[in-house]
Structure 1
Amino acid sequence: MREIVLDTETTGFDPLTGDRLVEIGCVALFNHLPSGEVFHRYINPERDMPEEAFKVHGLSAAFLADKPVFAAVADSFLDFIGDAPLVIHNAEFDMRFLNAELARLGRPTLPMSRAIDTVAMARKRFPGAQANLDALCRRFGIDNSHRTQHGALLDAELLAEVYLQLIGGRQPGLELGVRAAAAAAGRAAPVERVARPPRPHAPSAAEAEAHAAFLDRFKAAPVWRRQAAEEG
């Protein structure tokens, strides 16, 4: 099963008032584990960079000036995500910006049904606790000391680790990965079997005598005794 962990950075909070995407970062998972595939693009927003947004991600208008516009990266982005589910922290925000960019190009938008919102997952699992990415990294012991500012690819990589913990940890993914790889090869997953020597079950003479005395107490002889008598 392929999933895409996705994060974006923007010039602000609302695409309807002119805010644009400035960075997209994606990490592909196979059976919940990183596959090594990543997609990362800086995007020229074709507008200025508000100071408040710059303080969050550190991407200036000057830095983004020579980067491609969204129209130039749209096809490669859509090819990368394919039809996989999208794992996003606060999915409504990122999906709104992605769909605004796609709609601006006259392209089909991404349905919200594709999104797996890790904020909702965290709030359901830990009611009343902080659900931001830094808090979840602390909760799960994930090293985020290098996250001095928001960055789409870095945040997607951290979110991939958080998502793995939210769904139950590493072991389920490893097991699924083995089964999926075996299925792809057209064979059943290997099962390790340990040979054990046969265990002796012969009763001692005293045990056999006690058992025979116990059977003698029944009015009707056991089936195997009757069969033995008939055969004899």
Structure 2
Amino acid sequence: MNVVVFDLETTGLSPERDAIVEIGALRVRDGQVQEAERFETLVRPVGAGGEPLRIPWRVQQIHGISDEMVRNAPHLAAVLPDFLDFVGDSPVVAHNIGFDRGFMRAAATRHGLTWAPSAEHCTMQLSRRAFPGERSHNLDVLAQRLDLGFARGGRHRSLGDARVTAEAFVRLMERLRVQG
């Protein structure tokens, strides 16, 4: 169970029109979250044509990342190669991985890079298998179900969400192993 758990915060929901504003990731080795092995950065958002993007007010209300906070942050072109190096050939995990995958593929393509982890795992899908009788599998509900808490100010910030997702992944894999 050696994986990289990651989370993105963005300016919106469209990988083609919106941009990444934060990347957070933690490594899990042998079922243990490795706090010292992490990747975390804010990103100054730019559009597909290189034009600066503002973070919409309604999105700022969700993740708390403002235009001021990313004003001096590096552009994605500067940090994406480092993040891809951090991931290396490790499998990746995210909650609702389709969202994060879409942004990573679009960003990598725009910068002449490739998003091709060796495997991708989704804690939302794992939750559906572990708790088939439950209706909701969003990260807040999953964290509550697994008795996990977000650090103050950690919800809807990349590293905070990645940390809870990593702990959820470890517990879900154990639960599924026990369930057979």
Q: What TM-score do the two structures reach when normalised by structure 2?
A: 0.87
| 1:121 counterpart letter in structure 2 | L
Aligned equivalent of 1:80, options 70, 86, 97: 86
For residues 100 and 125 of structure 2, what CA distance do their matches in structure 1 show?
14
The match for 1:20 is: 19
Secondary structure, counterpart of 1:155 in structure 2: helix
1:13-52 to structure 2, matched below 5 A, reads 13-16=13-16, 18-35=17-34, 36-46=36-46, 47-52=53-58
Cα distance per residue 1:36-59 (max 9 Å; x no partner): 300001000021111221111011
Q: Which is richer in strand?
A: 2
Is 1:61 equivalent to 2:67 in the alignment? yes
Would the alpha carbon gap of residues 62 and 28 (structure 1) be closer, same or farther in structure 2, given more than 3 Å must change?
Answer: same
Flag the structure with more relative contact order, 1 or 2, with Cα contacts below 8 A and sequence separation at least 6: 2
Q: Which runs of 5+ in 1 are unaligned?
A: 173-232
For residues 136 and 6 of structure 1, what CA distance do their matches in structure 2 show?
17
Percent identity, aligned pairs only, is: 35
Is 1:131 equivalent to 2:137 in the alignment? yes
Q: In terms of Rg, which structure is larger?
A: 1
The match for 1:3 is: 3
Q: Which runs of 4+ in 1 moved over 3 A?
A: none
Shift of 1:32: 2.0
1:173-212 to structure 2, matched below 5 A, reads none
| 1:124 counterpart letter in structure 2 | R
The match for 1:206 is: none
Secondary structure, counterpart of 1:15 in structure 2: coil
Contact 1:95 1:110 (C-alpha < 8 Å) held by counterparts: no
Cα distance per residue 1:113-138 (max 9 Å; x no partner): 62101101101221233211111111
For residues 42 and 54 of structure 2, what CA distance do their matches in structure 1 show?
15
Q: Which runs of 5+ in 2 are unaligned?
A: 47-52
The match for 1:162 is: 168
For residues 129 and 106 of structure 2, what CA distance do their matches in structure 1 show?
29
Question: How many residues align structurally?
Answer: 169
The match for 2:49 is: none
Would the alpha carbon gap of residues 163 and 20 (structure 1) be closer, same or farther in structure 2, given more than 3 Å must change?
Answer: same
Shift of 1:149: 4.1
Contact 1:56 1:149 (C-alpha < 8 Å) held by counterparts: no
| 1:119 counterpart letter in structure 2 | M
Contact 2:154 2:161 (C-alpha < 8 Å) held by counterparts: no
Would the alpha carbon gap of residues 149 and 167 (structure 1) be closer, same or farther in structure 2, given more than 3 Å must change?
Answer: closer
For residues 150 and 111 of structure 2, what CA distance do their matches in structure 1 show?
36
